[in-house]
Amino acid sequence: MPAPAARFIVGNWKMNGLSAEISEAAALADSLKDEPSPHRVGLCPPATLVERMARKLAGTAVEVGGQDCHGSASGAFTGDVSAEMLKEAGASLVILGHSERRAYHNETDAEVAAKVEAALRAGLEPIICVGETLDERKAGKTLAIVRGQIAGSLPTSLSGKAFALAYEPVWAIGTGLTPTLEEIEEVHREIRAAMKAQLGASGATAPILYGGSVKPSNAADILALAEVGGALVGGASLKADDFLPIVRAG
């Protein structure tokens, strides 16, 4: 029997975590050392913890990422962090275009695309998020919204580069609600077709992660779906005891 395809399981800590929580990342890496996983595992802590987490996890299987970056390498952008800064701090990944950035910081598709360019320039692997709101889903616009976000947020320079796309329905984030398995599969198939048409070979192979209320109890079913190449996990990634079963479910 062929080995199951490796999945990419990424934790997004959002604005959670002080120094003490680095121990959760260390516990995760320790457990994975004892039970080597075929899957790629990443953690994206707040910017203040990236460097310390990267030091703590150096030499382990767990990759570290940022949650956003600016489109410029440096400059008068108070409060922002550049891709180069994340890279120097030890990150290898960066989440871009998360719906919380799009909603609370008014990020447009064009800005997300500029951030993707910045990430690639700095040598970070972007994880680009798309997803519809509840109103958009109810109006039957899910596929059109996601197609539009892909067209606008994925620059052609991604061609030939390592990246991941995350489908995160806004209404499923932090709510305990998820689309049905059929609905997830439908959107992932559409995303695959759109990425292939736009980016060729890289669009055909980049993993498409599902995000939105992924928990130990639903992870196996979601990760078994066609075109689901992993998960982007919020709340359930904060504790190693919750995140580990999701990694194992891959």
Q: Which x/- pattern over 166-185 shows residues binding ligand 13P (rule: CB under 6 A)? A: --x----xx-----------
Out of 42, 97, 234, 250, point to the residue binding ligand 13P (CB under 6 A). Answer: 234
Out of 126, 211, 229, 250, name the contact with ligand 13P by CB under 6 A: 211
Cα–chain-centroid distance for residue 75?
A: 26
**Is 168 part of the annotated catalytic residue set?**
yes
The two tokens of residue 172 are 């499923």
Residue 98 annotated to the active site: yes
Q: x/- binding map, residues 93-132, to ligand 13P, per CB under 6 A?
A: -----x----------------------------------
| Shortest spacing between CB 175 and ligand 13P, in angstroms | 7
Separation of alpha carbons 8 and 36, rounded Å: 14
Q: Which is catalytic among the residues 39, 98, 111, 188?
A: 98
Residue 249 touches ligand 13P, criterion: CB under 6 A: no
Asked if 232 is part of the footprint of ligand 13P (rule: CB under 6 A), the reply reads yes
Q: Which spans of this chain sit near ligand 13P (rule: CB under 6 A)?
A: 12, 98, 168, 173-174, 211-214, 232-236
Catalytic positions, please?
98, 168
